[in-house]
Amino acid sequence: MHVRTRWPWISLLLGAVVALNPVGLDFLRSAFFSGEQLSRNIAQPIVFSALAILVLIGIIEWLVRSIVFKRRARGAS
């Protein structure tokens, strides 16, 4: 039995992989906890842009899953 969900788990998994690898953690650390202002000024816009892209991907995935879920509920193939 397959359980279908509308939750965008692929996007969340992708975001976790991107953020929780050693390079991603170092970049997050330099964006928010760096002692140098120049490093924070360079890294913060990049981190916020990546976060916005991941949120957009999550919304698109949720919309696609909702459309597929509704079509399968109607019986359309």
| Segment-wise mean pLDDT, segments of 10 residues, the chain, 77 residues | 72 89 92 92 94 93 89 72
With 0-12 / 13-18 / 19 or more C-beta atoms within 10 angstroms meaning exposed / middle / buried, residue 75 is: exposed
Q: What per-residue confidence (pLDDT) applies to 33?
A: 92
Question: How many other CB atoms are there within 10 angstroms of residue 76's CB atom?
Answer: 7
Verdict on whether the full-model pTM lies above 0.85: no
| Confidence (pLDDT) at 3 | 61
Give the model's pLDDT for residue 2: 66
